[in-house]
Amino acid sequence: MTKRDNFLKGFWKENQILVTMLGLCAPMAITTKVENALGMSLALMFVLIMSNVIIAAIRKIVPDEIRIPIFIVVIATLVTLVDMLLAAYLPALSKSLGIWIPLIVVNCIILGRAEAFASKNTVLDSLIDAIGIVLGYSMVLILISIIREFLGTGGLTIWGNLGFNFNDLFNRTADNRFTFFTSFFTTPPAAFILLGCIIGVANIINRKKAVKQ
């Protein structure tokens, strides 16, 4: 596999949500706002990239019998660091994401890449793999959050001052007939349905590609 293929595989061929269907809890839990998806993406990016690089660097000196506990210690240390930084510098985002930041420790994507790739490849290849995987994951995560927030609230808000509100354009009020319909998109069932639709579309595209080939 070339370095280009290693990087691009995370966007579609091995997309962790659309294809392997790993780490599906976060897309259903924190995607009510775009800023939540961006915050989670950045946190996951830091942890995945750093853990891949560190594990690839120490892979030859770690005994096979205790490799999983060592991987978990590395990942847990990085997650703790991210959690502390968010609490210190972005307290509102930290409060909004809540328990989902500490739960990155048990995110199957992180440990899966450590075991399946970083422990068997060089630092550079592991770095490229991590960047491609996390960008592909974040792309889907942000897409779901854009759809949910826009349909659920009528606008997009990114860290307070950035964004827009579609309701203001049409002067909608809180008691109009669209309120029940739009508020549904901020609920967990809506995230589950939307995620299923996106995965279904991805499967249709993959099947059509397979038929052509």
Q: What is the pLDDT of residues 87-120, one digit of tens each?
A: 999 898 899 888 889 988 888 899 999 999 999 9
| The token pair that represents 67 in the structure block | 């490799």
Mean per-residue pLDDT over the chain, rounded: 85
Rounded to an integer, the average pLDDT of 128-142 is 94
What are the angstrom distances between the C-alpha of 142 and each of 3, 137, 193? 26, 9, 16
| Helix 34-58 / helix 67-89 crossing angle, nearest 10 deg | 140
pLDDT tops 50 at residue 25: yes
Place of tokens 């949500």: 17
Q: What is the per-residue pLDDT for 169?
A: 47
179 confidence band (pLDDT: 50, 70, 90): low
The answer for residues whose C-beta is within 8 angstroms of residue 138's C-beta and 6 or more apart is: 37, 41, 44, 45
